A and B are shown apart, each in its own frame.
Chain A
């Protein structure tokens, strides 16, 4: 047995000829923010909805908080909070009424006091009497997160919570998600934003075409590509010779754009030392030297051979 709060083994889901989810296994530990990262159509939502008990798996086992999701959906539903991707809610009900209604549907406390607390948590107190349709995108997402919290769940599932939000609203939502984690809850979210996965998640499963390619902390994932990176600099005097730099150790590609030279390298340290030595030897002057370490984007590119965003 395991202490993991979520334990998924060999999960599969087939839609016609397509394997939407193909032999996925993963574990989520209590108290972490776990991200499933991947492009649209990678199978993130299908995986999430099978763990939530909303979709019947074709194969594999899912244990959530000690209960088998397929056999014991009722017990699982009481212990989890869910936010679906782009669900709109009942029309003609106010924000406060929606929170109270969903609390009652979970058999939880739907009293005005509790509703106020939940709305306070997601900073929607002053919107309690507004209709949900009148909220902004960020406010609607915060409302649906409040609805995911009505039953004081152990685990909160968020399906692409920040998609379509502006950067400010996205950052606000990250703070909210962190504060929910700080209450001792476990959070599982899907995203196709690298930055979100890197800054928000404790661990990430990288998913593509129905399978999990990698699963680790963001730092460890990036560390697998640690040596790679790029160096670029603006040359102020003579025009540099690309061919000269292309021969430096580790360099995979050298390109010149105006006065700016960019080197892609498989060994950042080695190439950087050689770059400095070469410019000294040839008395070339430059400024704005920038080196970049790999991002999750590079990790994704490296392991799948394609860019995350289309």
Chain B
């Protein structure tokens, strides 16, 4: 046990003292998120409101115009179908659809609320109701001419950052697992360190488990930092059970470590390992819906997307973090990830080599 502890402490020292590794582990994902967050995440503090059917009444038009000039609302004025599909896609928090009331003096308003983030939608709904009440008084001088009907919509999440954060976490777990692990491990073999370890009574499985432990702890630490920055800078709302999130993060870490071990088993030297790592991670980064949803991707690409472990990790994380789903709701994702991890470890144990070819 003390051998294992000593090896793990040494592993931590090696990673923390390696500035390049630290940059790729911590700096890179953070920079990535902050950069994309500011580029695409503009106006996150405003509530995205869609208004449709404003032609049905001059009052509706007046309300729409007044709302547009109000700080805190980002107003979209379109037809009903467009706005309702926008709320499904997570681009609107609330959509108001005006229509002629049954009585001539009355104005009906169907208010749709995106429930993907319960806290956020509560704030949005009460802000909109408050506004309608006040605007109606000012315009007509009469209260309660508008008859609002509230309906919940199970739309996608609404902010870019909320969409992007699970993706960044996925990328971090993937690079940490596939690239960081394989290039370190292949270097250990290349330099004869594995053989030197073989000469000690310290068992190989403990040596590997120690490395895995270190990498998983570093990954968790990295993700805590990412989430903290996302909350502080972009006011991200996380509606998840943290348990479900932790389960996915740890399983995801193991999945990508197992892929890293496969790369280590086959790569003859560090150059090959780095190239193979990039070849595996780069397409996955773009095909797994990290930056944009893959629903619109061409049909022939869908089966490939469905084969990528990162797709399942990112989807699972999104369900859990943004839509507040529990572990039971992401069982499919968990099973796929666990299956990949088990298969990966079996393959890498079978093809494990103590030393570089030709040595």
Contacts from A to B (Cβ < 8 Å): 52-54, 74, 77-78, 82, 84, 86-93, 97, 100-102, 104-107, 110
Residues of chain A within 8 A of B7, CB atoms compared: 101, 104-105
The 8 closest A-B pairs by CB, nearest first: A104-B6, A92-B17, A87-B192, A105-B202, A88-B191, A82-B199, A105-B200, A92-B14
- The reply on B195 being an interface residue by CB < 8 A is yes
B192 touches A107 (CB 8 A): no
A89 touches B201 (CB 8 A): no
A82 to B199, CA, bound (A): 7
Other A-B pairs beyond A92-B17, A97-B10, 20, CB < 8 Å: A52-B199, A54-B198, A77-B199, A82-B199, A86-B192, A87-B191, A87-B195, A89-B193, A89-B196, A90-B10, A90-B14, A91-B18, A93-B13, A105-B7, A105-B201, A105-B202, A106-B3, A106-B200, A106-B201, A110-B6
Q: How many A-B residue pairs have CB under 8 A?
A: 67
- The reply on B197 being an interface residue by CB < 8 A is yes
Mark interface residues in B93-129 (1 if CB within 8 Å of A CB, else 0). 0000000000000000000000000000000000000
A93 to B14, CA, bound (A): 6
- The reply on B2 being an interface residue by CB < 8 A is yes
Q: Known contacts A77-B201, A78-B201, A106-B200; is A91 also within 8 Å of B14 by CB?
A: yes
20 examples of A-B residue contacts, CB within 8 angstroms: A54-B195, A74-B201, A77-B199, A77-B201, A82-B196, A84-B192, A87-B193, A89-B196, A90-B14, A91-B14, A93-B14, A97-B10, A97-B13, A101-B10, A104-B6, A104-B7, A105-B7, A105-B200, A106-B3, A107-B201
A86 to B356, CA, bound (A): 14
A104 touches B201 (CB 8 A): no
Determine the residue in chain A with the shortest Cβ distance to B191: A88
Mark interface residues in B186-221 (1 if CB within 8 Å of A CB, else 0). 000001110111111110000000000000000000
A102 to B197, CA, bound (A): 9
A53 to B198, CA, bound (A): 9
Nearest Cβ distance between residue B218 and chain A, in whole angstroms? 14
A105 touches B191 (CB 8 A): no
Which B1-38 residues have C-beta < 8 A from chain A?
2-3, 5-7, 10, 13-14, 17-18
A102 touches B14 (CB 8 A): no
Determine the residue in chain A with the shortest Cβ distance to B201: A77
Nearest Cβ distance between residue A20 and chain B, in whole angstroms? 13
Nearest Cβ distance between residue B304 and chain A, in whole angstroms? 38
Nearest Cβ distance between residue B184 and chain A, in whole angstroms? 10
Determine the residue in chain B with the shortest Cβ distance to A53: B199
A6 to B200, CA, bound (A): 19
Q: Which of A53, A84, A93, A106 contacts B10 (CB 8 A)?
A: A93
Nearest Cβ distance between residue A65 and chain B, in whole angstroms? 14
Residues of chain A within 8 A of B195, CB atoms compared: 54, 84, 87
Output the residue of A74, A86, A90, A91 with the most chain B CB within 10 A.
Answer: A90
A89 to B200, CA, bound (A): 14
Residues of chain B within 8 A of A87, CB atoms compared: 191-193, 195-196
A127 to B201, CA, bound (A): 27
Residues of chain B within 8 A of A89, CB atoms compared: 191, 193, 196
Nearest Cβ distance between residue B225 and chain A, in whole angstroms? 21
A92 touches B199 (CB 8 A): no
A105 touches B6 (CB 8 A): yes
Nearest Cβ distance between residue A148 and chain B, in whole angstroms? 9
A91 to B13, CA, bound (A): 10
Residues of chain B within 8 A of A78, CB atoms compared: 201
Q: Which of A53, A77, A100 contacts B6 (CB 8 A)?
A: A100
Nearest Cβ distance between residue B313 and chain A, in whole angstroms? 30
Determine the residue in chain A with the shortest Cβ distance to B355: A54
B193 touches A54 (CB 8 A): no
Residues of chain A within 8 A of B192, CB atoms compared: 84, 86-88
Determine the residue in chain B with the shortest Cβ distance to A82: B199
Residues of chain A within 8 A of B196, CB atoms compared: 82, 84, 87, 89
A105 touches B197 (CB 8 A): yes
Nearest Cβ distance between residue B290 and chain A, in whole angstroms? 31
Residues of chain B within 8 A of A106, CB atoms compared: 3, 200-202
Residues of chain B within 8 A of A100, CB atoms compared: 6
A87 to B7, CA, bound (A): 18
A87 to B189, CA, bound (A): 10
